[in-house]
Structure 1
Amino acid sequence: MSEIIIGNLLSPAVLFFLLGIIAAICKSDLKFPKGISEALSIYLLLAIGIKGGIELSKYSIEEVFVPIIGVLFLGFSIPIFTLLILRFIKLDLENSIGLAATYGSVSIVTYGAAVSFLDKIGTPYEGFMNALVALMESPAILLSLILLKVLEKNKQLAGISPSQSMGIISSSPWIDKEVIKESLFGKSILLLIGSLLIGLVLGEGAIPMVKPLFIDLYGSVLILFLLNMGLIAGERIPEVKKYGVKLLLFGLLSPLLFGSLGVLVGTYIDLSLGGATLMGVLAGSASYIAAPAALKTSVPNANPSIYLGLALGVTFPFNLIVGIPIYFEMAKFMQ
């Protein structure tokens, strides 16, 4: 287990993220042109979506229908739970949405570490779990952006600024066509879901064409993206101080809460011990790839130091060190 922890914490992606933070703290003149920064986000959303769609195409709907329902439940419920929790620590709307999308989505690296953990102890799991990883990337991001549009609209109608309240206070309809349109057809969700559907339709036949760009180069582009996110996060670290302890506790306790929910759902839908463990990992992890790529363009006022700093600096190492074994023991106890 120690090899998994060290290997992931010392991965190039994480180290380049830290390099970006150091560069920002040291007032380096290192900057990413806006166009390149935007291109990196678009690339990652397309790559994640199309790879997930291809993986999902390998299974029949009968095999994955119930697990998909379980994943969608987690993907839509965790952002709502996150917003309710953050209401009590009075975090502003944009950053609350950022954390809702981040913690409702998943960490592919944490999932990979969990798979290695199960392989090492000889515990099998369902093959379609790999497809569910990509499927769970989108719901939380979509719901979070919809909630942002709804809450902003209702607060504007009520004459209250977004940072003063997070409740739905308007007497107007809770949601309208414009909110749905802006949320579903914003570039982040459009690219992520659209590319997933394309991958699903084309299946493995698309691999020869997409492999050179979206598979072979994925890790290298991810390094550039996280270096840029490190620069952004480092510039905004001082903004985190006013929330320090509360956010730290959220980053440590929310994985246990959401991971327990994931294990419970996995057990309820009759997944194996390994499958239920991985469902817990999906629910308990936090995205530092897909969600930040979407948030950077859709919620630019959200502070990357908060949503990316918590995901990478607190929840990620917590899950690698103690979270994965805890989810496994929970699944074993429930079964």
Structure 2
Amino acid sequence: MRTQQLNFPLETVMLLKPGQNRSSRDSVFAKTTLLKPALLDEPTNHLDTESMEWLESYLKDYPGTILVVSHDHFFLDKIATQIAELANRRIHIYKGNYSYYLAEKERRMEALKKEMELQKAQIKKIEEFVERFRYKASKAAQVQSRIKMLDKFKEIKLDGSAKSVAMRFPEGKKSVKEVVKVSNLGHSYGDLTVFSGLNFSLFRGDKVAFVGVNGSGKSTLSRLLSLSEQPAQGTVQYGDHVNMAFFSQESSQNLTYANTIWEEVSSVPSSADDQVRRNLLGAFLFSGDDIFKSVGRSSQRGCRGQNNFSQR
């Protein structure tokens, strides 16, 4: 009832937490958006296009205060009026949307760099004066004054730039032109037919996105194409020299949380030696003793996703 009152899209499935059914998800979301202020932790995860458009429209007209945690830059551009950046245990507020934040941060960093260089030059000049006249009695008062000036300087620090994952895919053996052929593909769960009679081919170099409302079968089709699930009807045929890797939205659920990150990566059958595995983990920002922490301690979903992706 709440869903209808708030004009949720009729076909939406809002996944706030894994395992929630549709009615409970919509009820939780509806209840949250009625609170003032509303705190939304990555609300766009698992939303289809229609639900995203509804959410953006609703939040734009929302009369209360909204606090949003999100990695979706496009979403933040549309709904945010301020960006609060957490870096180096400090918070800095930018009064604008995400695009404004990026531009303003760059300007701020350039200004801070100039200010920092000027400060370094001033400190160097004062230190040279102190060193030059330290033992000259007639300059003792001036030296002490300069030393006090040095003590009063507040060091200017730049926000450390965030590390990014370094990903490089080595060139593999050239595959045939038709990479995969799908013939009369269909699937169902019990009496529910997800889709049937799908026929298409993907060719070398294609980059294809599956779009559709939640429940239309995008994830099911992905699992069938990955051969991790058998279709109810039809076939999926791969061409010669095709190496397929599958990273699903449920991939992190397949991790053994009691294992260390190193144990998880080492559990994947591969001809790679330990150094190659370490280099791979380093590319995903796992370094030093991080690799000996348990997967369960990598509480951030992003860290678990990086760990899982490194196994692909």
Q: TM-score band (shorter)? A: under 0.3
Mark the structure with the bigger radius of gyration: 2
TM-score with structure 2 length normalisation? 0.21
Higher relative contact order (CA 8 A, sep 6+): 1
Report the structure, 1 or 2, having the larger strand content: 2
